[in-house]
A = this chain, B = another copy of it.
Amino acid sequence: MKLAVIGVGLIGGSFALALKKAKAVSHVVGVGRGEQNLKLARERGIVDAIAPDAAMAARDADLVLVAAPVAQFESIFSSLRDSKALITDGGSTKRDVIAAARKALGGGIGRFVPAHPIAGAEKSGAAAASADLFQGRRVVLTPLAENSPHAVAKVERAWAACGARISQMPADEHDAVLAAVSHLPHLLAFALVHEVAGRKNSEQLFSFAAGGFRDFTRIASSHPEMWRDICASNKDRMLEELSSFSRKLDQVKALLDDPAGLEKLFAEAREARDRWIRSS
């Protein structure tokens, strides 16, 4: 199988490495904006060849992974209009990606099986790619009515070959779930660091920040452009999550006058988290 990877970053590079390791692909062509990054991808054996654009890369490919920032998806899909290859993606949001694909692929939309590998990291680029990134991680497919069972099965097999656990759900549901457990926490972490960094005594504040702050804010070291696109495309769900969270903060604020009630909330949160950790 020949693979084309559009955007050879953490996700795209790891997909290529994982499929090579699983001997599920024989040849990988990469496309990307950063020359240094592509050079590194070639040196690391992530890609075997580099193509000047997505159309050229997809020419002989059986499978194309689109793993660029989501804002570029529409123009990438346009370049893939004439290809015959099956297409999947690594976008963190699905409704907007599907809308872009429908617009650009037209009647060829059945060739696109949307996917979201839930395996981000605060690192990015080909340098961070790893054959094991998806091992044991979830990949959510949000198949379209136009996808043939065969196309879905083939894309599913590719992600499964990376070691991922595959789920399927509608794109709507995907974006709502991810807004709650991924997009909102990222916004909160970015917001907290920005707040601390903007204070007059920010240097002092950071110097007394410890392990709790470090872990809480780890995701604030994520890729700004990628998160800009996620926020823009999932705006309605983000606004809902921000509203729900503000209501929860009002509840916590009120409980500052009710120590027993506050302790109960803390204990319930701890129990829920510990249960989750044990089961995962």
Contacts and interface: CB of A to CB of B under 8 A. Distances in A.
Interface of A: 118-121, 137-138, 140, 167, 177-178, 180-182, 184-197, 199, 201-202, 204-222, 224-225, 227-229, 231-232, 235, 238-239, 242, 244-246, 248-249, 251-253, 256-257, 259-260, 262-270, 272-274, 276-277, 279-280
Contacts of A201: 177
Which of A224, A225, A229, A266 has the most chain B CB atoms inside 10 A of its CB?
A: A266
Contacts of A266: 190, 220, 222, 224, 227-228
A202 to B, nearest CB: 7
Contacts of A267: 224
Nearest to A201: B177
Instruction: Summarize A's interface: helix, strand, loop or mixed.
Output: helix
A180 B205 contact: yes
Number of copies: 2
B216 A185 contact: yes
Contacts of A244: 195
Given A192-B188, A216-B185, A259 B228 contact: yes
B140 A208 contact: yes
Contacts of A270: 190, 193, 220-222, 224
